[in-house]
Amino acid sequence: MRLSIVVPCYNEEAVLQLFDAKIRETLDELPIEYEVCYVDDGSRDGTLNLLRTLAKDNPETTRYVSFSRNFGKEAGMLAGLQEATGDAVVLMDADLQHPPALIPRMLELYQHGHDQVIARRSRDGDKFVRTLFSKLYYRLINRAVDVELTDGVGDFRLLSRQAVDALLSLQEYNRFSKGLFSWIGFDTVTFDYQNASREAGETKWRFSSLLNYAIDGLISFNNRPLRLGIHVGLLLSALAFAYAAVITVLAIVNGITAPGYVTLLVAIVGLGGLQMAMIGLVGEYIGRIYYETKRRPHFLVKERAGDRLDRR
């Protein structure tokens, strides 16, 4: 059999060489053919140069594509999956947070007939705040969307050819892989591993990008958040009517006494905020339609290397 390793890299010059050495060390031990597909996601450091060198050193087992600019990890993974020729594909980060030593285990499970073999990490060593937010988020999102998302389950996984082709058949512009993996289904198995911290370089996630990612996840799958908006709206108007009734009765009994400007202010500001959030939500869905209708490619390739003759 033939295994493809797909590695999106963005500014990973600090760790890439080490990664390449480690992954080969693992793969050379296994009785399989393999290829490592790197995707340079428009890095601004020496990543591309390193990839050129790596491809020169091991031309049979290395291929890479390099994007014209940074298109994001989702695009990187998509490009890698398109590039991969193997019977199975393992998606990995370049920073060695996904231990290559787990690959034999994944292969074994794959050979037992599983189409998706997921390695789930613990959150040891993560910042407390990030862990907290993640926990809250997953609790919330699993109510909101109809695919199952699990904390600690990331992109580190093995996919069978069938699963890869299924993923590639999903051509939406806004890709939220975590959800897509879950959406395609197939025979899935999960095992746990101890979280490792980044070997070198630094994380590309800022708080704002995590927040955006979270919002993406929430609205990538269905329109339940819109439905929720309707529910909240109805609930609030019901409360308002009830309150109006109480006030009316009080006014009849006591006569008009209190000026009640605080109530007014709270109602105006509260409802105004809620309405803005809901309009934003609707806009977000419309924005997605806008992007989908443009039908732009997910990424642009400026350079590539590797043997493409054996492509399926």
Contact yes or no for 117/158 (Cβ under 8 A): yes
User: Residues 13, 20, 35, 41: which binds ligand UDP (CB under 6 A)?
Assistant: 41
DSSP string over 125-173? TS-HHHHHHHHHHHHHHHHHSSS---TTEEEEEEEEHHHHHHHHH---S
Euclidean distance between CA atoms 209 and 240, whole angstroms: 37
| Contact indicator for 26, 100 with CB cutoff of 8 Å | yes
Choose, by CB under 6 A, the member of 36, 72, 89, 180 that binds ligand UDP: 72
Residues forming contacts to Mg ion in the complex (CB under 5 A) are 93, 95, 97, 198
- The helix or strand, by DSSP H or E, that contains position 17, with its residue range, turns out to be helix 16-29
Q: Which residues contact 168 (CB under 8 A, 6 or more apart)?
A: 78, 81, 82
Q: Which residues, 90 to 119, sit near ligand UDP by CB under 6 A?
A: 93-95, 97
- Of 11 and 66, which CB lies nearer to Mg ion in the complex structure? 11
24 binds ligand UDP (CB under 6 A): no
- By CB under 6 A, how many residues form the interface with ligand UDP? 17
Rounded distance between C-alpha atoms, residue 305 and residue 13, angstroms: 18
137 binds, among ligand UDP, Mg ion, none (CB under 5 to 8 A by kind): none
Which partner in Mg ion, ligand UDP, none is near 35 (CB below 5 to 8 A by kind)?
none
C-beta of 265: minimal distance to ligand UDP in Å?
42
Pick the piece of the chain touching ligand UDP (CB under 6 A) from 72-80, 174-182, 268-276, 293-301.
72-80
- For residues 201 and 11, what is the distance between their CA atoms, to the nearest angstrom? 8
Query: For ligand UDP, what does the binding mask look like between residues 176 and 215, x meaning CB under 6 A?
Result: ----------------------x----xxx----------
Question: For binding to ligand UDP (CB under 6 A), which residues are involved?
Answer: 8-10, 12, 41, 70, 72-73, 76, 93-95, 97, 198, 203-205
